[in-house]
Amino acid sequence: MIINMKIKDILMNDFEVTGDMEKSISGITYDSRKVKNGDVFAAIKGENFDGHDFIEDAINRGAAAVVYEIKRFEQLERFKQLNERSNSSKHSNIVWIGVNDSRDALAAISNKFYGRPSEAASVIGITGTNGKTTTSYLMKSILEKWGKDVGLIGTITYLIKDRAYDAPHTTPEAPDFQALLREMVDNGCSHVVTEVSSHSLSQKRVDYTKFRVAVFTNLTRDHLDFHRTMEDYFMTKRRLFTELLTEDGTAVINMDDPYGERLASDLKGQKILTYAINNQNADVIACDIKTTFKGTSFKFKIQNSKIKNVGNENYEMMSPLVGITNVYNILSSICAALSMDIPIKIIKEGIAMTGLVKGRFEKVDIGQDFLAVVDYAHTEDALERLLLTARQLLQAYRFAEKTEEMMKAKRRQYSMPEKLEGNEKKGKIITVFGCGGNRDRGKRSKMGEIAARLSDFVIITSDNPRNESPRAIIKDIEKGMDGDNYIIIPDRSVAISMAVELASSGDIVLVAGKGHEDYQEIQGKRYDFSDRVVLENAIRRTISRPSFGGGTNYKGTETIRC
């Protein structure tokens, strides 16, 4: 897109400007390596680098203007020298824009440069530790069923209607985010659904965006390497609702989450729609939940009399998505849709049409006689919910298996037996997981405890070790393991293959942690790796071999210690 704009058009009142404000600009960037002639370069501090160290590089590449933090410019001697040289031929044409907070300024000028795109579309923001991605796809499906053109910005991909782009970040930096919004609006999108990560809120990537609906899914331990405390993590998420939601916008909040209850209390006086399974004071409540390998059904009741065009009755809901976790995701999308006056019939149809989301309880089925699942669960809460869902599915499987045997017995006109032959085959949960390196170490042992407690057997393996030793990460996980129902196989591919070897008919194999990711990051390099592809190949190898009866018994498997 070609945008003709002058420096004066992107300025805020508190900017200190030196230079020609009538100068035309062609773009905005925060990466000096990407500067083109006529760009504005904003010097921001990242996790590993400080953009102020690359101001001269940006100028050499053709920057027309430099946004810098006044306090940093004054503190560092080399910036003083650079400023003194600003009258030289090399720097004489540069416009210097001094600001108090360069991240805030980057968001402000990006919003202006791209023509305030969020004011031309209804933007729905979804934040929380877990559930953001699935909720975003549910919302997209509902809105499309309502006849709207929709853009989506999320962890897996960016979608402009049906056009897909790779998503390097859950929520991109401010210029990229506003550029995406502008492209979506220019391509006719009336609604945009976006995941809003805690990093993006902390780093002000979505500031100056007008959110019409903001969804809070939950808050559990994650990213404490970045936020340090749960309080800081919560207060960062809270910004979406207290600072970025429009005055007439609606906050959608999970009232079964203690942080959700706190948030709802903080937002008294604002428009709020709440949902829950257990909290009977919520506006939308789910009950009679039934989950199977094929999907989930439940009833939901709307108790808020202010919601238009709904009666005080129980509505039936069917979805191909599996488990209690997805009931919460569906409830959040119901509330968000109701806040936009979307009819119940459309909401139900949109949810029913939402297929399995990549890497979110994604079933891998190529004809094997056990359930194989890839899931992004990489936090304590997400792993526990995944395993509890698997337990519920096993119970449903056993009930269905018992019922089928009883019906066969009845058809044969035999007496109903007290104990069915073969009913001892209960089905097992075999879990493969690891933890990422250079991230919150405190959650590793907790995830180990959860995996050991709720699985029948666990294979601890490598996730994205990044710059840490995989064996050191595994040792941290192992500290939480109580008992001997696990082995250690650092090679993730081998670990997944072993899980398949151990699976018998009626078992559930869970491969957790990486979900949709198609790489493994080791010592700063990314290698091609897909849990789904590895799992599929392992199952194919097993299916193609001649059967000698029964599954592999894991009880005698050698434990591989670090």
Domain end among 310, 325, 352: 352
pLDDT of residue 278: 96
Residue 228 has pLDDT above 70, yes or no: no
Q: Confidence band (pLDDT; 50, 70, 90) for 32?
A: very high
pLDDT of residue 161: 87
The per-residue pLDDT of the chain, averaged, comes to: 86
pLDDT of residue 358: 83
Please tell me whether residues 428 and 551 are part of one structural domain. Answer: yes
Task: Express as a percent the part of the chain with pLDDT over 90.
Answer: 66
Is residue 410 one of the residues assigned to a domain? yes
Query: Residue 106: which of 27, 190, 48, 161 has the closest Cα?
Result: 27
Q: Which two tokens stand for residue 36?
A: 């083109």
Is residue 252 one of the residues assigned to a domain? yes
Is residue 357 one of the residues assigned to a domain? no
Please tell me whether residues 135 and 42 are part of one structural domain. Answer: no
Is residue 322 one of the residues assigned to a domain? yes
Please tell me whether residues 191 and 149 are part of one structural domain. Answer: yes
What CA–CA distances, in Å, run from 510 to 393, 400, 448? 12, 21, 14
Residue 177 has pLDDT above 80, yes or no: yes
Query: Comparing 150-154, 265-269, 283-287, 405-409, which segment has the lowest mean pLDDT?
Result: 405-409
Query: Comparing 92-101, 258-267, 538-547, which segment has the lowest mean pLDDT?
Result: 538-547
Quote the Cα angle for 454-457-462, to 5°. Answer: 100
Query: Comparing 8-12, 378-382, 477-481, which segment has the lowest mean pLDDT?
Result: 378-382
Please tell me whether residues 406 and 537 are part of one structural domain. Answer: yes
Per the CB < 8 A criterion, the answer to whether 197 and 165 are in contact is: no
Is residue 508 one of the residues assigned to a domain? yes
Which CATH number characterizes residue 185's domain?
3.40.1190.10
Please tell me whether residues 465 and 444 are part of one structural domain. Answer: yes
Residue 183 has pLDDT above 80, yes or no: yes
Residue 410 has pLDDT above 50, yes or no: no
Residue 54 has pLDDT above 90, yes or no: yes
pLDDT of residue 426: 62
What is the domain range of residue 137?
115-352
Please tell me whether residues 165 and 292 are part of one structural domain. Answer: yes
pLDDT of residue 419: 33
What number is the average pLDDT over the span 283-290? 95
DSSP assignment letter at 229: S
pLDDT of residue 482: 87
Per-residue pLDDT of 195-217, as tens digits, reads 999 889 999 999 999 999 999 99
Per-residue pLDDT of 111-156, as tens digits, reads 999 999 999 999 999 999 888 999 999 999 999 999 999 999 988 7
Full-prediction pTM beyond 0.85? no
Please tell me whether residues 102 and 137 are part of one structural domain. Answer: no
Per-residue pLDDT of 232-241, as tens digits, reads 989 999 999 9
Residue 165 has pLDDT above 90, yes or no: no
What phi and psi values does residue 129 have, to the nearest 5 degrees? -70, -45
Residue 168 neighbours by CB under 8 Å, 6+ apart: none
Alpha helices in 24-146 (DSSP H): 55-60, 70-75, 77-84, 102-113, 132-145
Per the CB < 8 A criterion, the answer to whether 535 and 363 are in contact is: no
If phi over 0 gives left and psi between -120 and 50 gives alpha, with beta otherwise, what is residue 341? left
Domain end among 63, 78, 111: 111
pLDDT of residue 256: 96
**Residue whose entry in the numeric block shows the structure tokens 């849709």:** 337
pLDDT of residue 84: 60
Report the distance separating Cα 512 and Cα 461, nearest Å.
10
Please tell me whether residues 385 and 321 are part of one structural domain. Answer: no
Please tell me whether residues 122 and 87 are part of one structural domain. Answer: no
pLDDT of residue 170: 64
pLDDT of residue 397: 61
* 170: amino acid identity, one letter: T
If phi over 0 gives left and psi between -120 and 50 gives alpha, with beta otherwise, what is residue 377? beta
Report the distance separating Cα 495 and Cα 505, nearest Å.
19
Is residue 11 one of the residues assigned to a domain? yes
Is residue 562 one of the residues assigned to a domain? no
Residue 559 has pLDDT above 50, yes or no: no
pLDDT of residue 221: 62
Which CATH number characterizes residue 470's domain?
3.90.190.20
What number is the average pLDDT over the span 434-438? 91
What number is the average pLDDT over the span 61-86? 75
If one counts the domains in the chain, the total is: 3
Instruction: Give the DSSP per-residue string, 391-405.
Output: HHHHHHHHHHHHHHH
Domain end among 111, 133, 157: 111
Q: How far is CA 123 from the centre of its chain?
A: 17
Please tell me whether residues 131 and 198 are part of one structural domain. Answer: yes
pLDDT of residue 401: 54
Residue 500 has pLDDT above 70, yes or no: yes
Is residue 38 one of the residues assigned to a domain? yes
Please tell me whether residues 324 and 383 are part of one structural domain. Answer: no
Which CATH number characterizes residue 55's domain?
3.40.1390.10
Max CA separation in the chain (angstroms): 101
Please tell me whether residues 221 and 324 are part of one structural domain. Answer: yes
Q: Between 468 and 358, whose confidence is greater?
A: 468
Report the distance separating Cα 205 and Cα 503, nearest Å.
45
Per-residue pLDDT of 300-342, as tens digits, reads 999 987 787 776 678 999 999 988 889 999 999 999 999 999 9
Query: Residue 530: which of 481, 474, 492 has the closest Cα?
Result: 492
Report the distance separating Cα 470 and Cα 95, nearest Å.
48
